[in-house]
Amino acid sequence: MTTERTLILLKPDAVERALRGEILRRIEAKGYTIVALAQRTATAEELAAHYAEHEGKPFYAPLVEYMAASPLVAVVAEGERVIEGFRSLAGTTDPTTAAPGTIRGDLGRQWDAPVLQNLVHGSDSPESAAREIAIWFPELG
């Protein structure tokens, strides 16, 4: 097994609902190590780089607007198979159908908003993780 790193974003809805501690507790309880953590309001440049693959899609502008509207928490977590493990811990993107026991299944809400507010983002591959970590934590990239 190889130790991996992943980027996790606690999205504005997680911060606004004061779920930071619970989400971080679940990450650490799973056995992952928090390598870096910062709460801040994302810049337009960070969001453009992070969501570059979605530029031009109908949900892009509302997504960037939502992510920039209030603070988020960027986290780098490390551990064995952390990318796959965190995505399983997070649950499916739709909080209504996410399994109980997952972050989104237990804590998520379904909103009639232009953008699905689903608490967290996790990198989907080692390549994405490296690219995303370099955006949010250039000192680690």
Average pLDDT over residues 81-95: 96
- Say which CATH number the domain at 66 has: 3.30.70.141
Q: Is residue 70 part of a domain?
A: yes
Q: Is residue 51 part of a domain?
A: yes
Average pLDDT over residues 69-80: 97
Q: Is residue 68 part of a domain?
A: yes
| Residues tagged active-site | 121
Rounded to whole angstroms, what are the CA distances from 87 to 78, 94, 138? 13, 13, 23
pLDDT band with cut points at 50, 70 and 90 for residue 118: very high
Expressed as residue numbers, the domain containing 82 is 3-136
Q: Is residue 64 part of a domain?
A: yes
Model-level pTM?
A: 0.94
Q: From the CA atom positions of the chain, what is the Rg in Å?
A: 14
Q: Is residue 141 part of a domain?
A: no
Please answer whether residues 74 and 23 qualify as being in contact, where contact means their C-beta atoms are separated by less than 8 angstroms: no
Q: Per residue, what are the HEC states of the chain?
A: CCEEEEEEEECHHHHHCCCHHHHHHHHHHCCCEEEEEEEECCCHHHHHHHCHHHCCCCCHHHHHHHHHHCCEEEEEEEEECHHHHHHHHHCCCCCCCCCCCCHHHHHCCCCCCCCCCCCEEECCCHHHHHHHHHHHCCCCC
Count of the separate structural domains present in the chain = 1
- Could you tell me which residues are annotated as the binding site? 11, 59, 87, 93, 104, 118
Q: Is residue 44 part of a domain?
A: yes
- Could you tell me which residues are annotated as the binding site for ATP? 11, 59, 87, 93, 104, 118
pLDDT at 109: 86
